[in-house]
Structure 1
Amino acid sequence: MAMSMCVVQAADVIQPHETDQPNVVVIMADDLGYADVGFQGCRDIRTPNIDQLASSGARFTQGYVTGCMCGPSRAGFLTGRIQSTFGYYVNASQPLNPAQGFPADTKTVAHWMQDQGYVTGGVGKWHMGTADHQRPNAMGYSDWYGFYGGGLMYFPLDHPSYDGRYLTKTKPWSVRDMHHTLPMLHNGKPVKWDQYLTRELTDGGIRFIEKNREQPFFLFVSYNAPHEYLEAPAETIAKYPPESMTEVPGVPAKNRSVYAAMVDEMDQGIGRLLETLDRLELSDNTVVWFLSDHGGMKRTSDNRPLRGAKGNAYEGGLRVPFVVSWPNRIQPGTVLDHPVTSLDIGATSLALAGGDVAQAELHGRDITAYITAQNSDAPHQELYWHVGKSPKDFSGVLREGDYKLLVKRGSAQLYNLRSDPTESNDLAKEQPQRAEHMLAKWKAWNTSNQPPLWNPGGKGANNYQYANYEWLRGTPHYKANAEPTPKPRATN
């Protein structure tokens, strides 16, 4: 059974905390396409709650994340720092290898929020490592309900549809199966659950809000949806017959059908979270952010009109659906056209909590004045990305005003995103001086990026199929004599 907690009835609601420090809720989807929510023009997937969140606050037409793959993008968001500046370039391919993931002594935005008196919580996907020093409770989260890998099967492993496939395995696990079969945990202790994963994570978020409604809180709702594997309740899939789905190049209609159901389930969960804030009279004092961790996958998602998808540095990999709602402070229906980044969420949250963004050395900007229409200036004159595997891999992006330089292993493409948001017209040969100037700036910035925290080659994967962590007992990955050996790397 899922974890239970007494639900507070409306008549017993305790008055919310009276403070200048607003609550902060960050809702992050996984692999969501740029055009796969209603406020972005989607017609075949129903997202009324996400759309209401957008219409009640502000949506960013140029909202970016720091990476085009899950791990690096989330590492940037969680720390509030560009991940290449501390050597985080690729996904952890071996989730039970303590050398992969966050280095020791990493300080996160959640740590900084704790310093300001906030209670910090998270639900869902972690993906930053499984060793003691890498787990959410060691990384600034006082309460975490979720899983440590890069995903999880959407039903418990003993679900009849799996036919025992994930309970035992004689051959080495694949990378995806390793990530998706780790247990569900609450503060490091295994819990049993018996419903669709997205619903379970929503329940976890609601419990956190109810428990901590009397003090300022920072909650990261890290949904796994709509990341593959493609799974959803049959009744939700039935709402989206394949023949009714929008034709998206490269996306099979059957995939699109299940993917739509997964987005629908996430939207329903977001609706329940927002209803909880309303019921507990917390909405007016809560800043709610919604975004995806990067662009959608080619075989499931619609990123149009943007070029590219998850895994590359075209706009379709880095620009995402991005909204913020804050009743009584943000004018409903606001549309903000200047570029912003997921790093701005941490910086703005810390500033609203009363912290010092500069002292924390966060790389984002406090955009409170921008989202509340006190200032219409662009928060950023330049934005930098590194999307390669090390500083020696010259791959990344410089966004300067309307221009975007895309560096691919040393060669450069140049686009004017104002006139060419689809990145169809490479201007590098027409404007060689601009391209050379921007490339020189990107290379100069790249000199500050750090060596990789681990070898991305993935050698020795089979050595990390198992571990002797107590929280793995009762799972296919537990072995008493399988203690991981690499020592955690400390930050400089």
Structure 2
Amino acid sequence: MRLIKKNIGVVVLSVGIAGVACAGAPNVIVIMADDLGYNDLGCYGCKDIPTPHLDKLAGEGVRFTSGYVTWPMCGPSRAGFLTGKHQSKFGYYENVSAPFDPNQGLPKIETIASLLQKQGYTTGGVGKWHMGTTDDQHPNAMGFDDWFGFLGGGLMYFPLDHPSYNGRFTPIKRPLSMKYMQHTLPVIHNREPVEWDQYLTRELTDAGIRFLEKNADKPFFLFMSYNAPHLDLEAPEETIAKFPADQMTKVPGVKPAARSIYGAMVYEMDAGIGQLLAKLDALGLAENTVVWFLSDNGGMKRTSDNRPLNGAKGSAYEGGLRVPMFVKWPGKTPSGKVLDAPVTSLDITATSVAMAGGDPIAEGLHGKDIRPYMTQQSTEAPHDVLYWHTARSIAPVGVIREGDFKLIIGMKGKLELYNLKDDLGETKNIAASYPEKAQAMKARWLEWDKDKQPPLWTGGKNIQYADYDWLKDSQHYKAADIKKGNE
């Protein structure tokens, strides 16, 4: 079997000629959870899932109560963060559903990784990609010198031959649903498949630690893109045992058994992040490393606690778009500060580029350099207005937040207006009471939405096989001549 061992050194694949990092430029780590609920960390009020390492990180930096992503599901949200641009402006409206459909995924575009490469950074990514699988969409071709992870939208949390699966995936029965096409792709290091033999969250943490060890003597950017706590609900039995179902917080719509396993998944992710942060300390890197944390969208209805917000993953309400978000910049961000002004994942990209010595405005990024706000050199809110295009097409459906007011523009022009200061749970639609305000905000959103682009793709073919080298020896591989029926 053509596999490489997981304890290999980091292979740097040069993409273009890197610049030289500006003196004093900090290392940057962005840690992204997948489908984490707003209220599922201790620092946001969670009572049933201990998250001591993330709570400590938030307590040593600044925590945002109005941290937003650009879409309420993972694909477009991640496309927004990775490019630093509103994804509707380049036609990215839905998840990659069929990973081997070459029409789906990112177009040729700069990413946070390629922008930091230009500033002399070594760039690494670990975990979930979900931005397409063609050679041009591979992370190595999109600015990541080093990538360890998987290219689909999720992955089973144990190797496919794990006893708990009872032979379900070995061999895989054809045809696979689109979900399990995503969740059974191989783990790869750059363009080679690797062996792995432990719980996925632990595997990804180990890969992140290896990247830190190999790049401790140079400016680096690391994107830790955890799969947890995305479905399927899986965790080591000994960890699940720490979360008895009858002792979990009662969350409307969430079964206690599901909450138990979900709690174990969040706990494992927090433990892994603790190991990463400890490695930063051990390597003497902590004082010159900025660490961001966020979720890619709101938590799922079946597993998460998004209270006091309304809605969940997939929703244009706050529970779909507002996420846990905080940052520690040692010596710069005040410890334990809670900031209420709205910020977005696009700001993480723009700020990181600015920290590295780049110019986010010249690069055409849509976020803002929020260093003055996050360090509290300025208390002025970074944004007076925020926009979202939330349709899975070019339909005029979206959200605008202007100060404390939020307008949801629904199908057929339905308007919902909320005052988030007075009604964070979005329980009372006040559009009829403030018709002029609602119409003015709608007009402002429509003006912003004018330059949206046609969809990069519509629909998708559930292609079962591909001939990428990194798929060889997996059950998804077939050479081109075989796929065409020339067996």
Shared fold, TM over 0.5: yes
1:284-323 mapped onto 2 (5 Å cutoff): 284-323=287-326
Q: State whether residues 94 and 175 of structure 1, in contact with CA within 8 Å, keep that contact through their aligned partners in structure 2.
A: yes
1:475-486 mapped onto 2 (5 Å cutoff): 475-481=474-480
3-state SS of paired residue (2:445):
helix
Q: Deviations over 1:337-361 (max 9, x none)?
A: 1000000001101111111111100
Distance change (3 Å), C-alpha of 1:484 and 1:266: farther
> How many pairs are equivalent?
470
Q: Deviations over 1:407-460 (max 9, x none)?
A: 1112110011111111011110000000011111111211111111001x33x3
Note the residue ranges of structure 1 that are not aligned, 5 or more in a row: 8-16, 486-492
- Distance (Å, rounded) in 1 between the aligned partners of 2:265 and 2:392: 31
- Distance (Å, rounded) in 1 between the aligned partners of 2:57 and 2:375: 16
- Distance (Å, rounded) in 2 between the aligned partners of 1:260 and 1:434: 42
1:159-178 mapped onto 2 (5 Å cutoff): 159-178=162-181
- Distance (Å, rounded) in 2 between the aligned partners of 1:186 and 1:483: 26
Q: State whether residues 83 and 89 of structure 1, in contact with CA within 8 Å, keep that contact through their aligned partners in structure 2.
A: yes
- Distance (Å, rounded) in 2 between the aligned partners of 1:371 and 1:153: 37
Q: State whether residues 347 and 367 of structure 2, in contact with CA within 8 Å, keep that contact through their aligned partners in structure 1.
A: yes
Q: State whether residues 34 and 320 of structure 1, in contact with CA within 8 Å, keep that contact through their aligned partners in structure 2.
A: yes
- Distance (Å, rounded) in 2 between the aligned partners of 1:444 and 1:168: 53
- Distance (Å, rounded) in 2 between the aligned partners of 1:131 and 1:208: 24
- Distance (Å, rounded) in 2 between the aligned partners of 1:483 and 1:203: 37
Aligned partner of 1:478: which letter? Y
1:171 Cα deviation from its structure 2 partner:
3.1
3-state SS of paired residue (1:66):
coil
- Distance (Å, rounded) in 2 between the aligned partners of 1:140 and 1:346: 14
Q: 2:404 maps to which residue?
A: 402
1:473 Cα deviation from its structure 2 partner:
1.2
Q: 1:349 maps to which residue?
A: 352
Identity %: 61
Pick aligned residue for 2:137 from 134, 155, 167? 134
Distance change (3 Å), C-alpha of 1:263 and 1:483: farther
- Distance (Å, rounded) in 2 between the aligned partners of 1:356 and 1:343: 14
Q: 1:56 maps to which residue?
A: 60
TM-score by length of 2: 0.94
Q: Deviations over 1:156-176 (max 9, x none)?
A: 011111122112234311111
1:89 Cα deviation from its structure 2 partner:
0.5
Distance change (3 Å), C-alpha of 1:18 and 1:110: closer
Pick aligned residue for 1:232 from 231, 235, 254? 235
Pick aligned residue for 1:449 from 452, 455, 461? 452
Q: State whether residues 2 and 194 of structure 1, in contact with CA within 8 Å, keep that contact through their aligned partners in structure 2.
A: no
Q: 1:469 maps to which residue?
A: 468
1:274-293 mapped onto 2 (5 Å cutoff): 274-293=277-296
Q: 1:273 maps to which residue?
A: 276
3-state SS of paired residue (2:196):
coil
The answer to whether 1:101 aligns with 2:100 is: no
- Distance (Å, rounded) in 2 between the aligned partners of 1:227 and 1:157: 17
Aligned partner of 2:152: which letter? G
Q: 2:370 maps to which residue?
A: 367
Q: 1:79 maps to which residue?
A: 83
Q: State whether residues 191 and 469 of structure 2, in contact with CA within 8 Å, keep that contact through their aligned partners in structure 1.
A: no
- Distance (Å, rounded) in 1 between the aligned partners of 2:481 and 2:423: 53
The answer to whether 1:428 aligns with 2:422 is: no
1:18 Cα deviation from its structure 2 partner:
10
- Distance (Å, rounded) in 1 between the aligned partners of 2:282 and 2:332: 20
Distance change (3 Å), C-alpha of 1:483 and 1:423: farther
- Distance (Å, rounded) in 2 between the aligned partners of 1:267 and 1:484: 43
- Distance (Å, rounded) in 2 between the aligned partners of 1:45 and 1:151: 23
3-state SS of paired residue (2:451):
coil
3-state SS of paired residue (2:480):
coil
Q: State whether residues 75 and 94 of structure 2, in contact with CA within 8 Å, keep that contact through their aligned partners in structure 1.
A: yes
- Distance (Å, rounded) in 1 between the aligned partners of 2:451 and 2:467: 38
1:6 Cα deviation from its structure 2 partner:
8.2
Deviates more, 1:162-171 or 1:323-332: 162-171
TM-score by length of 1: 0.93
1:474 Cα deviation from its structure 2 partner:
1.3
Q: State whether residues 64 and 339 of structure 2, in contact with CA within 8 Å, keep that contact through their aligned partners in structure 1.
A: yes
- Distance (Å, rounded) in 2 between the aligned partners of 1:58 and 1:239: 30
Q: 2:18 maps to which residue?
A: none
Distance change (3 Å), C-alpha of 1:65 and 1:18: closer
Aligned partner of 2:127: which letter? G
- Distance (Å, rounded) in 1 between the aligned partners of 2:478 and 2:65: 49
1:483 Cα deviation from its structure 2 partner:
8.3
- Distance (Å, rounded) in 2 between the aligned partners of 1:468 and 1:482: 9
3-state SS of paired residue (2:76):
helix
- Distance (Å, rounded) in 2 between the aligned partners of 1:114 and 1:52: 30
1:204-283 mapped onto 2 (5 Å cutoff): 204-283=207-286
Moved over 6 A (4+): 482-485
- Distance (Å, rounded) in 2 between the aligned partners of 1:336 and 1:167: 49
Note the residue ranges of structure 2 that are not aligned, 5 or more in a row: 11-20
Q: State whether residues 22 and 357 of structure 2, in contact with CA within 8 Å, keep that contact through their aligned partners in structure 1.
A: no
Q: Deviations over 1:284-323 (max 9, x none)?
A: 1100000000000000000000000000110000000000
Q: Deviations over 1:189-210 (max 9, x none)?
A: 0000000000000000001111
Aligned partner of 2:470: which letter? W
- Distance (Å, rounded) in 1 between the aligned partners of 2:372 and 2:481: 52
